[in-house]
Amino acid sequence: MDEGRPLFQQIAEQIESSILDGTLAADTQVPSTNELAAFHRINPATAAKGVSQLVTDGILYKKRGIGMFVASDARRRVLDRRRDAFARDFVEPLLAEARRLGLSAADVRDLIEKWGEGR
């Protein structure tokens, strides 16, 4: 796991990523906190905190006595959130480094288009 960020957050993000790429479909059961703890070799309380974060956010829901399940609109919620974070996490550092190198926003735009064509 990444040293620098709270583990519970990383657990939540990994589950979100699985929802995003379709590994965890709507209304399927997610691994239990004990399974997550054993797999990632982390404290179960920390894993539980990550899961309950997703319940609070409406991405998972609880079936009493059974476990946690993926909410029907979870994928859309995760997508919205990731898109919101995209500018802050990727565009801002991109432009900051561009400034240091004397590249304008227009230069960066040109670069993005050029790279996009090559793909």
Partner 1 sequence: MSVVAVEDLTMRYRGHTALDGVSLALEPDTIHGMLGRNGAGKTTLMRILTGQEFETSGRVEVFGQPPRENPAVLNRVCFIRESQKYPTNFKVREALAAAAIACRNWDRAYADRLVKDFELPRDRPIKKLSRGQLSAVGIVIGLAARAPLTLFDEPYLGLDAVARQIFYDRLLEDFSERPRTIVLSTHLIDEVADLVEHVVLIDHGEVLMDQDADELRGRAVSVSGPAEAVAAYADGVPVLHRSELGGRARVALAERPGRPAEGVSVDSLSLQELIVLTTNQGDPK
Task: Based on the shown chain and the rule CB under 8 A, indicate whether residue 85 belongs to the binding site for partner 1.
Answer: no
- Residue 28 binds partner 1, judged by CB under 8 A: no
Between 29 and 34, CB nearer to partner 1: 34
In whole angstroms, how close is the CB of 100 to partner 1 at the nearest point? 8
What distance in Å separates the CA atoms of residue 44 and residue 34, rounded to the nearest whole number?
6
Give the list of residues 6+ apart from residue 104 with CB closer than 8 angstroms, or none: 98
Q: Does residue 95 touch partner 1 according to CB under 8 A?
A: no
- Whether the Cβ atoms of residue 2 and residue 10 lie closer than 8 Å to each other: yes
Part of the chain binding partner 1 (CB under 8 A), chosen from 14-22, 37-45, 65-73, 106-114: 37-45
**Unique residue bearing structure tokens 């539980």:** 48
Measured CA to CA in angstroms, residue 32 lies from 17, 52, 58, 107, 116 at distances of 17, 11, 17, 48, 40
Shortest CB 23 distance to partner 1, Å = 23
Angle at 62 between CA 31 and CA 9, to 5 degrees: 55
Which is closer to partner 1, CB of 40 or CB of 82?
40
How many positions of this chain bind partner 1 (CB under 8 A)? 21
Residues near partner 1 (CB under 8 A)? 1, 3-8, 33-34, 37-38, 40-46, 49, 96, 100
